[in-house]
Amino acid sequence: MRIKLIAIVIQIAAIMAGTASAQWLNYPAPGIPRTKDGKPNLAAPAPRTADGKPDLSGVWSGPGPGSYDRNIARDLSPRDIQPWAEAIYQQRVRDMGKDAPRANCLPDPFAYYHMVDVARIVQNPGVIVMLYQGTTNSVHRTIFTDGRPLPKDPNPSWMGYSVGHWEGDTLVVDTSGFNDRSWLDIEGHPHTEALRITERFRRRDFGHMDLEMTVDDPKTFTRPFSFRMDQTLTPDTDLLESVCEHDTSVPHMLGGTAIKLAPEVLSKYTGTYQYAPGRDAVITFEGDLLFLQEGANPLKLPLAPNSETEFVARAIGEHVEFLRDSQGAITGFIYHGERGDRRAVRKK
């Protein structure tokens, strides 16, 4: 187990290494409205292009890790996910994401880049280009705004084919033509070639842009769902170059555990635990996995078994060890985290 955990750490380190020691560019970009003290005035009005449309150009950051990047379906209930998709999702969690496209130097879905990454939008009449710093490699995506329709039978691709039109001051982008190999999030929700994504970009002011994304893939989810991932302008800097070295990282990835525990075993762990008064943690189970939900955070962390009492939180490589009393009853757990251990006691 330790070796597997080390592998995850190496994987994460490999992803981080691209920027950890990098020198961030700092250049006061022209055309940015500034307050008297020279700071960018992010509350100034949004700029407009010559044709009067809002100009979305600039370097934008997403809300950051812990939004929908780990689990795009976090607001859905299990019945909203088709059974085959839930089964694949659970398998990928158990496999610690060994076969994730990003682990193999292939791109993340562009939704991910708008959540946790930096994107430069370059707007021109007829075409908008999004340059993504990228987690694996720096990639780009084109949105045609010249009135063309979506192609009827496009080549399935990682970025899909995007067309956009303006509804007032909102840019509405429709994308289809995805392949069925990309993962919608880090934990591993799949999608099919039937996926359609609609994005609505509205630059509220100079420094802030609303972004609502709607995911519609009836073969994977029983209904379309939408979520917000509002963007903040990142002035006076630029994208760094991101390059993934496939053959130096992939050999270290060993994959996950083959252990499956029976429902009657998993059900023994479900219930409410307490780190401290007022700091509850709830354990539930679904399929072959346990889920840990802490406090008011809606994100449920999937836990795959490494043994009957030890589970790994695959996305972040941390693990949870359940404690038993002499009669074998579960009395609590220790969360072995990056920042130290947290001990929780089962509530009566």
Partner 1 sequence: MRLHLLASTIALLLSVTASAQWLHYPTPGIPRTRDGKPNLAAPAPRTSSGKPDLSGIWELEHPPCHAGGCADYVGAPEFLNLGVKLKDGLPYQPWAAELVKQRSADLGRDDPVARCLPSGAVRILTFPPPRKIIQTPGEVVILSERDVTFRQIFTDGRPLPLDPSPSWNGFSTGKWDGNTLVVETNGLRDGAWLDRNGSPMTDAARMTERFRRVSYGRLEIELTVDDPKAYTKPWTVTLNQLIVLNTELLDYYCNDNEKDVQHAVGK
Question: Which residues have a Cβ under 8 Å from the Cβ of 315 and sit 6 or more positions away?
Answer: 70, 97, 186, 187, 301, 302
Tokens standing for 217? 């893939």
- 16-55 positions binding partner 1, by CB under 8 A: 22-23, 25, 27, 29-31, 50
Q: Which of 218, 211, 200, 281 is nearest to 67 (CA)?
A: 211
What is the rounded CA–CA span in Å between residue 160 and residue 199? 13
Helix-then-strand count for the chain, H and E: 5, 18
> Using CB under 8 A, which of the segments 33-41, 155-163, 223-231, 256-264 binds partner 1?
155-163
Spatial contact of 181 and 102, defined as CB atoms under 8 Å apart: no
Closer to partner 1 by CB, 76 or 239: give it: 239
DSSP code, position 108 = P
Closer to partner 1 by CB, 71 or 176: give it: 176
Least distance from partner 1 to the Cβ atom of residue 78, Å:
32
Spatial contact of 72 and 189, defined as CB atoms under 8 Å apart: yes
Closer to partner 1 by CB, 237 or 293: give it: 237
Q: Would you count residue 180 as binding partner 1 (CB under 8 A)? A: no
Q: Would you count residue 200 as binding partner 1 (CB under 8 A)? A: no
Per-residue contact flags (x/-) with partner 1 for residues 104 to 123, judged by CB under 8 A: xxxx------------x-xx
What is the rounded CA–CA span in Å between residue 78 and residue 90? 12
Closer to partner 1 by CB, 6 or 240: give it: 240
Element (H, E) at 166: strand 161-167
Tokens standing for 252? 């270290």
- 228-267 positions binding partner 1, by CB under 8 A: 238-241, 243-247
Of 41, 61, 91, 157, the one binding partner 1 by CB under 8 A: 157
Least distance from partner 1 to the Cβ atom of residue 124, Å:
5
Binding residues for partner 1, per CB under 8 A?
22-23, 25, 27, 29-31, 50, 57, 104-107, 120, 122-124, 126-127, 129, 131, 137-142, 146, 148, 151, 153-155, 157-159, 238-241, 243-247
